């Protein structure tokens, strides 16, 4: 059982229990209290990496925090997404005592492989970066660990919270209203709201039109078909395959699971890609003049078309609402930066809000958006460069010749490899 004592009111305002299916739900024996407005210093919308990192840090600093998540606990702890975390993100987790699972089960990743003209070459990027390296750790495991850490610090999560609405964002006491898992609508008064509900969430959409600048890169003709398969990786390092038919990527998840990407046209319908076609294309695009074989396995979820659009919303603050992670941007997954940025945003947000609540110091809040988006633009540059390195401009022979030069420089020039390493590993 978890109790949440409101720092504002000083009274216990909600009582929750763990349901047998692992969901956290309101106690059914407290009907009189449900309709009362609840208070929390900070309401976090979304139990993804951004929201949970922020919530744990705040809760551990004694800030009364409530997390609202529209999905079930089982869903957030099993939803496969990212796998590769850069050193900046790992640092954030380490310094907040949130890296136990990652340290125990994560696999360090120091080198990656490129395949070009059927020849493989390896970039030892960690060697060029003083040993800084990635860790491969499935995002759902990270989320499960963060949920446990947050609950252990006395935080409250309302899973299956639907129809979330945000109000009074420019007042000192913004409110969040939602329908809880028991079907009751509840309203929570807060001092800050952390909008960490991803790209399609409600937080950013609650900000009046025109209050945010929207900077986007228009119209990449390419998308990546993302495929998750139940098969041990056929490699111990990420493979970026550049072929005359387009890019193919072989990513790592764990010893039973692999992620693959195929460059496809942006308008592609995933339904046109049955698994036989996917495997055939992966075999062709990853082919190399060496003794190597790609192992196949059943797909774990329907393939997903990920566009290469890039999109930033600035500032990441409107009154008492702070956006974090994918709620404030979309960075293509090419350089594997999205989860790392979300983790870093979560920490920056928590420290800024804690300074405002504990010390009445609003300067970190004022600097919040610029600090996060400056980091994110660096990551965007890395992502753009990587896309130029691996996506093949199928109908543009001029661009393809330049790509050949870039890949040859990466293979032969230590300076080019060091430049690649820096961008691949930083800022997160
Ligand atoms: P998330 O993870 O989307 O979490 C948002 C949470 O908010 C909930 N939610 C709501 N809750 C309440 N009310 C609402 N109205 C709500 N609407 C949504 C959602 O259910 C969810 O639980 O956002 P966050 O925390 O900002 O984290 C962002 C990262 O998840 C994302 O950037 C990465 O997954 C991107 N990404 C990768 N990033 C990396 O750093 N390394 C990688 O290797 C990597 N691989 C990937 C990726 C993204 C991928 N996809 C699916 C786009 C691979 C793929 C295929």
38 CA → ligand 1 middle, Å: 28
What amino acid positions are annotated as catalytic residues?
109, 240, 333, 337, 424
Nearest residue (by CA) to ligand 1, atom 41, is 336
Give the per-residue pLDDT at 37.
Answer: 58
Enumerate the β-bridge partners of residue 243.
Answer: 246
Which atom of ligand 1 is the closest one to the Cα of 228? 55
Enumerate residue ranges in the chain where pLDDT < 50.
1-34
Residue 297 tokens, joined = 């396995």
Let me know: does 4 contact 23? Beta carbons within 8 Å.
no
Q: Which of 144, 300, 339 should be mutated for ligand 1, with most atoms under 8 A from CB?
A: 339
What's the alpha-carbon Rg for the chain, to the nearest Å?
22
Residue 384 tokens, joined = 């753009």
Whose tokens are 């551990």? That residue is: 60
* 52-71 pLDDT tens trace: 999 999 999 999 999 999 99
Residue 201 tokens, joined = 């969430």
* 149-190 pLDDT tens trace: 999 999 999 999 999 999 999 999 999 999 999 999 999 999
Nearest residue (by CA) to ligand 1, atom 49, is 81
CB-neighbour burial class of residue 147 (10 A; exposed 0-12, middle 13-18, buried 19+): buried
Half-sphere exposure of 10 (CA within 13 A, CB side): 0
- Cβ neighbors of 35 (< 8 A, separation 6 or more) are 184, 186
315 CA → ligand 1 middle, Å: 20
34 CA → ligand 1 middle, Å: 30
Which atom of ligand 1 is the closest one to the Cα of 48? 4
Give the per-residue pLDDT at 30.
Answer: 37
Which atom of ligand 1 is the closest one to the Cα of 178? 13
Nearest residue (by CA) to ligand 1, atom 51, is 81
Nearest residue (by CA) to ligand 1, atom 26, is 325
Residue 417 C-alpha from the chain's centroid: 26
Q: Which of 23, 43, 45, 46 should be mutated for ligand 1, with most atoms under 8 A from CB?
A: 46
Which atom of ligand 1 is the closest one to the Cα of 52? 25
Give the per-residue pLDDT at 128.
Answer: 97
Residue 174 C-alpha from the chain's centroid: 26
- The span from the CA of 189 to the CA of 168, in Å, is 10
* 217-250 pLDDT tens trace: 877 899 999 999 999 999 999 999 999 999 999 9
- The span from the CA of 179 to the CA of 181, in Å, is 7
Whose tokens are 């997954």? That residue is: 333
Kindly tell me the number of DSSP H helices and DSSP E strands found in the chain: 11, 24
Which atom of ligand 1 is the closest one to the Cα of 327? 26
- The span from the CA of 260 to the CA of 296, in Å, is 11
391 CA → ligand 1 middle, Å: 23
Residue 136 tokens, joined = 């491969």
Taking CA atoms, 313 is separated from 214, 217, 219, 257, in Å, by 5, 12, 17, 34
Give the chain's length. Answer: 428
Torsional sign, CA 361, 363, 366, 371: negative
Residue 344 C-alpha from the chain's centroid: 10
- The span from the CA of 203 to the CA of 324, in Å, is 10
Ligand 1 surroundings by CB, under 6 angstroms:
45-51, 68-71, 76, 81-84, 139, 161, 164, 196-198, 201-202, 226, 306, 325-326, 333, 336-340, 342
H-type helices in 23-171, by residue range? 31-34, 49-60, 73-76, 87-95, 100-105, 139-152
340 CA → ligand 1 middle, Å: 11
Q: Which of 165, 201, 346 should be mutated for ligand 1, with most atoms under 8 A from CB?
A: 201
13 CA → ligand 1 middle, Å: 30
For 427, list phi and psi in degrees, rounded to 5: -85, -10
Give the per-residue pLDDT at 36.
Answer: 52
366 CA → ligand 1 middle, Å: 25
Which atom of ligand 1 is the closest one to the Cα of 83? 43
Residue 334 tokens, joined = 């090419």
Enumerate the β-bridge partners of residue 178.
Answer: 186
Give the per-residue pLDDT at 9.
Answer: 35
Give the per-residue pLDDT at 28.
Answer: 34
Residue 217 tokens, joined = 């890169």
Nearest residue (by CA) to ligand 1, atom 35, is 338
SS3 110: coil
Nearest residue (by CA) to ligand 1, atom 46, is 82
338 CA → ligand 1 middle, Å: 8
């Amino acid at each position: 059982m978890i109790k949440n004592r409101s720092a504002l009111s000083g009274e216990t305002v909600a009582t929750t229990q763990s349901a047998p299916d692992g969901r956290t739900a309101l106690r059914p024996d407290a009907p009189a209290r449900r309709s009362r407005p609840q208070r929390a210093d900070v309401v976090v919308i979304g139990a993804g990496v951004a929201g949970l990192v922020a919530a744990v840090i705040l809760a551990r600093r004694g800030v009364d925090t409530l997390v609202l998540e529209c999905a079930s606990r089982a869903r957030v702890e099993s939803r496969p997404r990212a796998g590769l975390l850069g050193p900046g993100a790992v640092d954030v987790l380490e310094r907040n005592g949130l890296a136990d699972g990652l340290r125990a089960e994560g696999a360090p990743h120091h080198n990656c492989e490129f395949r070009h003209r059927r020849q493989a070459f390896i970039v030892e990027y960690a060697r060029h970066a003083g040993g800084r390296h990635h860790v491969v750790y499935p995002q759902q495991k990270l989320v499960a660990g963060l949920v446990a850490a947050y609950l252990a610090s006395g935080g409250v999560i309302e899973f299956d919270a639907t129809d979330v609405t945000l109000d009074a964002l420019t007042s000192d006491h913004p409110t969040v209203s939602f329908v809880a898992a028991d079907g009751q609508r509840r309203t929570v008064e807060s001092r800050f709201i952390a909008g960490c509900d991803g790209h399609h969430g409600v937080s950013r959409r609650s900000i009046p039109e025109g209050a945010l600048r929207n900077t986007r890169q228009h119209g990449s003709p390419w998308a990546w078909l993302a495929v998750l398969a139940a098969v041990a990786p056929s490699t111990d390092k990420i493979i970026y395959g550049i072929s005359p038919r387009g890019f193919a990527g072989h990513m790592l998840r764990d010893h039973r699971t692999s992620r693959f990407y195929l460059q496809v046209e942006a308008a592609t319908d995933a339904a046109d890609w049955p698994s036989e076609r996917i495997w055939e294309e992966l075999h062709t695009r990853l082919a190399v003049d060496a003794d190597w074989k790609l192992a196949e396995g059943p797909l774990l979820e329907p393939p997903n078309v990920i566009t290469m659009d890039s999109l930033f919303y600035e500032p990441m603050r409107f009154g008492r609402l702070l956006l974090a992670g994918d709620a404030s941007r979309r960075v293509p997954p090419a350089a594997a930066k999205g989860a790392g940025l979300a983790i870093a945003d979560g920490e920056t947000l928590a420290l800024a809000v804690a300074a405002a609540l504990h010390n009445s110091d609003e300067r970190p809040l004022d600097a919040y958006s610029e600090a996060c988006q400056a980091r994110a633009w660096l990551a965007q540059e890395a992502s753009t460069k990587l896309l130029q390195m691996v996506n093949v401009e199928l109908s543009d022979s001029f661009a393809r010749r330049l790509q050949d030069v870039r890949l040859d420089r990466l293979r032969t020039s230590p300076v080019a490899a060091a430049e690649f390493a820096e961008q691949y590993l930083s800022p997160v």
